Amino acid sequence: MPLNIVILAAGKGSRMLSSLPKVLHPVGGLPMLAHVINTGLSMNPNAIHVVYGHGGEQVKSLLTQYKINWVEQKEQLGTGHAVMQAIPNIPDDDTVLILYGDVPLISEATLQQVVENSETNKLSLLTAKLKNPSGYGRMLRDMQGQLTGIKEQKDASEDQLLIDEVNTGFLACNAGLLRGWLALLGNTNAQGEYYLTDIVEMAATSGIEIESCFAAEEAEILGVNDRKQLANIERLYQTRYIDDLMLKGVTLLDPSRVDVRGQLNAGQDCTIDINTLFEGEVSLGDNVSIGANCCIKNAIIGNDVVIKPNCVIEDAQIGNASTIGPFARIRPDTVLAENVHVGNFVEIKKSSIGQGSKVNHLSYIGDTEMGSKVNVGAGTITCNYDGAYKHLTQIGDNVFIGSDTQLIAPVKVEDGATIGAGSTISKTAPANELTLSRTPQQTIKGWDRPVKKK
């Protein structure tokens, strides 16, 4: 049967105490709702309907990349009422699967099971056995173990509160059946809400078979109501992601001290030391070694690259066999060719550095095109900004730049040029010549250092 997914995401999330709608709070760098949509999409549905309410415009504007049927629920009158808003868009013969924008770790495998169980006109529910069932709706079963209904915590009797099997909220069933049941929902209960859960008793009394199953992992059914739960979900997500990386052949010296907020793809035999953060899309080639305390965002890193501790790399490409750091900052639009060495306290921005070139100590290279086999001495600065505009520095191949040189852009240093240490270069340094600008050294003979009078 064609699948329609309805994601409930209209709740206010008041316990987050946030101006950001709850479902936009990120887990692993991605809004919670995007995780749910991605998992939904992996099931190849005919359509995904998201029921939104609070902060709807913000939610929509941050998720424009998805093809979603957005359904507004103007007043939050309960989960049943929320599904009522989406059901008119769904044909009777389709299967409906209900997901939650604030339960981001649900897996495709578990959802497949829920959908499979709904086949041949059954109502399929995902339940869980919890040590502490408090707050959840309780599953009611008859003597034969057949499900007969769900009681919300606030409506349950003392005996019912002892039941440890709870409703996760996830369910699947035929759209026609669901439409019929939704039309009969009332709101005479402790919260004055239209409970989606009331359809279970309706199914039972009308002789519709009810099937239930458990999630593969307990983490899958956890929802986020406050920031403590958000942090817990983040840890569970990271553990899952990092475990997967290790199973794919990445060595992590301490899996609990690496976070991935986005996508990390790694080749063979990569090693990642502690306290490293990956953001956005990062790809590592084979045999990459990343030292402690690095932040790497949207970067393509080649084979055999060594990144020493405490480096920050963003929107950059690092060529094969290059060495970075310790304490280097590689800023956006930087492309390093093969075998480039960038050492400590070096900042590189919007520059290309040719094969085998070295910038090893305390330098700023910005808006620069640098050739191959260049040696940049300690303390070299490209003066790329005149206060209004940025200018280009062009450095050829086989150039040697002495320490403490300022290159005042726009400026060109031609192939094979040598720049004497301590120079301020503002005009073209010609090929294969020594260029330097230096005040002549002088010695004042017999000069006395001043001393304080007694």
Q: Which of 3, 5, 6, 8 binds ligand UD1 (CB under 6 A)?
A: 8
Is residue 220 near ligand UD1 by the rule CB under 6 A?
no
Phi, psi torsion values for 82, nearest 5 degrees: -65, -45
Closest to ligand UD1 by CB, 36 or 376: 36
Annotated active-site residue 361? The verdict is yes
Q: Are 66 and 96 in contact (CB under 8 A)?
A: no
Least CB distance from residue 6 to ligand UD1, whole Å?
10
Chain centroid to CA 115: 28
Binding mask 36-55 toward ligand UD1 (x if CB under 6 A, else -) reads ---------------x----
Could you tell me which stretch among 28-36, 192-200, 253-261, 431-439 binds ligand UD1 (CB under 6 A)? 192-200
Binding-residue pattern over the window 139 to 178 for ligand UD1, x denoting contact by CB under 6 A: -----------x-x-------------xxxx---------
With binding defined as CB under 6 A, does residue 196 bind ligand UD1?
A: yes
How many angstroms separate the Cα of 15 from the Cα of each of 18, 141, 224, 228? Answer: 8, 32, 9, 10
- Per CB under 6 A, the list member of 35, 55, 104, 195 interacting with ligand UD1 is 195
Q: Give the pairing type, strands 258-266 and 276-284.
A: parallel
Among 110, 174, 197, 355, interactor with ligand UD1 by CB under 6 A: 197
Query: Toward ligand UD1, which CB reaches closer, 21 or 267?
Result: 21
Q: From the CB of 61, what's the least distance to ligand UD1, in Å?
A: 19
Nearer to ligand UD1, 136 or 364 (CB): 136
Q: How far is the CB of 196 from ligand UD1 (least distance, A)?
A: 4
Is 197 strand, coil or helix? Answer: helix
Q: Between the CA of residue 264 and those of 29, 118, 284, 320, 367, what are the distances in Å?
A: 12, 36, 8, 18, 28
What long-range pairs does 233-242 form, CB within 8 A, spacing at least 24? 233/27, 233/32, 233/104, 233/105, 234/27, 234/28, 236/105, 237/27, 237/28, 237/104, 237/105, 238/28, 240/105, 241/28
Place of tokens 């409906």: 96
Handedness of CA 190, 191, 194, 200 (dihedral sign): negative
Q: Which of 5, 6, 9, 125 binds ligand UD1 (CB under 6 A)?
A: 9
- Minimum Å distance from CB 207 to ligand UD1? 23
- What are the residue ranges of helices labelled H in 148-226? 158-161, 175-183, 199-205
Task: Return the number of the residue (194 or 237) whose C-beta is nearest ligand UD1.
Answer: 194
Indicate which residue of 35, 54, 341, 361 is catalytic.
Answer: 361
Of 225 and 437, CB closest to ligand UD1:
225
- Residues 73-102 close enough to bind ligand UD1 by CB under 6 A: 73, 76-79, 81-82, 100-102
Number of residues that bind ligand UD1 (CB under 6 A): 27
Query: Phi, psi at residue 179, to the nearest 5°?
Result: -55, -45
CB-count exposure of residue 277 (10 Å: 0-12, 13-18, 19+): middle
Contact between 16 and ligand UD1 by CB under 6 A: the answer reads: no
Q: How far is the CB of 143 from ligand UD1 (least distance, A)?
A: 23
Active site residues: 361
Which residues contact ligand UD1 (rule: CB under 6 A)? 8-11, 51, 73, 76-79, 81-82, 100-102, 136-137, 150, 152, 166-169, 195-197, 223
